[in-house]
Amino acid sequence: MAFRTLLWFSLFIGLAFSAHAKDTVAPLYIGIDADLSAVAAEGGVAIQRGVQIAVDEINQAGGLLGRELKIIAKDHRGNPARGVANLKQLAKNNDLLAVVGGVHTPVVVTELDIIHQQNMLFLIPWAAGTALVDNQFSPNNVFRVSVSDTEAASVLIGHARSLQAKRVALVLERTEWGRSNYRSIRLAANAQDIDIASVHWINWQQKSFSEDVASIKALNIDAVILVTNAPEGAVVANEFHKQGLSKLPIISHWGIASGNFINLLEVSPSTLNLTVLQTFHFEKQTHPRAQHLLAQYRQKYGPFAANAIPAKVGLAHAYDLVHLLAIATRIANEFDVTKIKAAMENLPPYQGVVKTYSPAFSKDAHDALTALDYFMVSMDDNGHLVLPDNP
């Protein structure tokens, strides 16, 4: 009897210790460093939600190598210095797996040094500056599922050409993102025989653009290519309407889709001749994987119409990136950034929501999307991005 009691006591202690050990296994963390409350908050929140849905799915399947995933979200509000401070804090976490960035190219440009000094794995689901991925670092710790400005330029200019535009004006924000697009668009325009008749720069928080629009009007150009975020984009669009240029094609990079553009407009979007660059739309990517994401989004965040989900590209890109990271971590079979990075460069084909990656990356190519994955949409009077009638 004493032996049986001792045996049961030993089993109880063993099970209790095992359960306690399981409970005390440290989780792994994915950091988010994005604008979650300022001009690109719609994009930042969409990114955070894409990460969260993917993390929930990974945890429901047992986590990563037996460890739960958790998120640490930090808001840089579009401020590069705050972004660097966020990364310094995240780098102190020994259980940090990777960091997912946000919308703003100028923030990530400033962060590249610390990303590589700290050997952090950095995933970009939005910021489009060419130099963010094509940087001077070797090895390169940055991977992107998003637009690259070099590729975007050919699509924006190609769309102008499809409208029979011969002479275009550029309106660019005065940041590294604007300068990146200026370099790329000039090359694409030369290649496609489009004349850039004038170039105009707008500062963050600038409230007037009347003189520049008057100059554009005097040139009698065929279209405008717009590279701004939502507040400045609305300033430009409002001024075009005031000066009687509502019918002039405005071919916009996707920055205006990262914030509350519709509420800053003084006219209905249908009054403007506006198109916007995108890579993902629930009515274009209709395969089961994308529909699964839509169902998960609605279950977690509410019964949104597919077109009404804000900043859908950020949601889809972040979701795919986290799942690609999880596959790479399982291939590496340990939580070592160098080995996970090598696995990211040698992933098997994967059906994501944006597309089938075959594969997503290689040693020399850390951009998963190309110009073939980009398309143009329009905006309805609710501010929702919609596919053209004849895509």
- Domain extent, residue 312, equals 28-147+286-370
Give the span between the Cα atoms of 264 and 233, in whole angstroms: 9
Q: Exposure of 199 by Cβ count < 10 A (0-12 exposed, 13-18 middle, 19+ buried)? A: middle
Q: Are 109 and 182 in a shared domain?
A: no
Q: Is 73 among the domain residues?
A: yes
Q: Are 123 and 166 in a shared domain?
A: no
Q: Is 80 exceeded by the pLDDT of residue 135?
A: yes
Q: Exposure of 160 by Cβ count < 10 A (0-12 exposed, 13-18 middle, 19+ buried)? A: buried
User: Among the three residues 251, 278, 305, which one is the final residue of a domain in this structure?
Assistant: 278
Q: Which helix (H) or strand (E) holds 366?
A: none
Q: Is 80 exceeded by the pLDDT of residue 11?
A: no
Confidence of residue 13 (pLDDT cuts 50, 70, 90): very low
Give the span between the Cα atoms of 89 and 343, in whole angstroms: 26
Q: Are 129 and 204 in a shared domain?
A: no
Report the side by side order of strands in the sheet with 28-34.
69-75, 28-34, 96-100, 122-124, 142-144
Confidence of residue 24 (pLDDT cuts 50, 70, 90): low
Q: Is 382 among the domain residues?
A: no
Q: Is 142 among the domain residues?
A: yes
What's the pLDDT score for residue 306? 95
Tokens read off for 373: 């994955």
pLDDT in tens, 229-246: 999 999 999 999 999 999
Average pLDDT over residues 213-228: 97
Instruction: Please state, for a pLDDT cut of 70, what percent of the chain lies above it.
Output: 93
Helix (H/G/I), strand (E/B), else coil: 274: strand
Number of domains in the chain: 2
Closest C-alpha among 70, 135, 71, 80 to residue 110: 80
Give the span between the Cα atoms of 37 and 219, in whole angstroms: 38
Which sign, positive or negative, has the C-alpha torsion 222, 227, 230, 233?
negative
Q: Are 156 and 265 in a shared domain?
A: yes
What's the pLDDT score for residue 243? 98
Q: Are 262 and 154 in a shared domain?
A: yes
Report DSSP letters for 187-223, one per residue: HHHHHTT-EEEEEEEE-TT----HHHHHHHHHHT-SE
| Prediction pTM value | 0.93
> In which residue are the tokens 């400005």 written?
149
What's the pLDDT score for residue 384? 96
Q: Are 336 and 299 in a shared domain?
A: yes
From residue 31, alpha-carbon distances to 67, 237, 367 in Å are: 16, 35, 20
Check residue 126 and report its DSSP letter: S
Q: Is 360 among the domain residues?
A: yes
Q: Is 60 exceeded by the pLDDT of residue 259?
A: yes
Q: Are 142 and 37 in a shared domain?
A: yes
Q: Is 50 exceeded by the pLDDT of residue 5?
A: no
What's the pLDDT score for residue 389? 75
Strand stretches in 40-166, DSSP E = 69-75, 96-100, 122-124, 142-144
For residues 229 and 255, the answer to whether their CB atoms sit within 8 Å is yes
Cα dihedral value 326, 86, 110, 332, nearest 10: -20
Tokens read off for 278: 């995108």
Tokens read off for 101: 């960035």
For residues 241 and 363, the answer to whether their CB atoms sit within 8 Å is no
User: Among the three residues 236, 258, 278, which one is the final residue of a domain in this structure?
Assistant: 278
Q: Is 269 among the domain residues?
A: yes
Average pLDDT over residues 59-84: 98
Q: Is 176 among the domain residues?
A: yes
Q: Are 156 and 257 in a shared domain?
A: yes
Higher pLDDT, 348 or 24: 348
Backbone angles phi, psi at 53, to 5 degrees: -65, -45
Q: Are 112 and 230 in a shared domain?
A: no
Give the span between the Cα atoms of 65 and 294, in whole angstroms: 27
Confidence of residue 18 (pLDDT cuts 50, 70, 90): very low
Q: Is 48 among the domain residues?
A: yes
pLDDT in tens, 145-202: 999 999 999 999 999 999 999 999 999 999 999 999 999 999 999 999 999 999 999 9
Confidence of residue 25 (pLDDT cuts 50, 70, 90): confident
Q: Using only C-alpha atoms, what is the Rg of the chain?
A: 23
Average pLDDT in the chain: 94
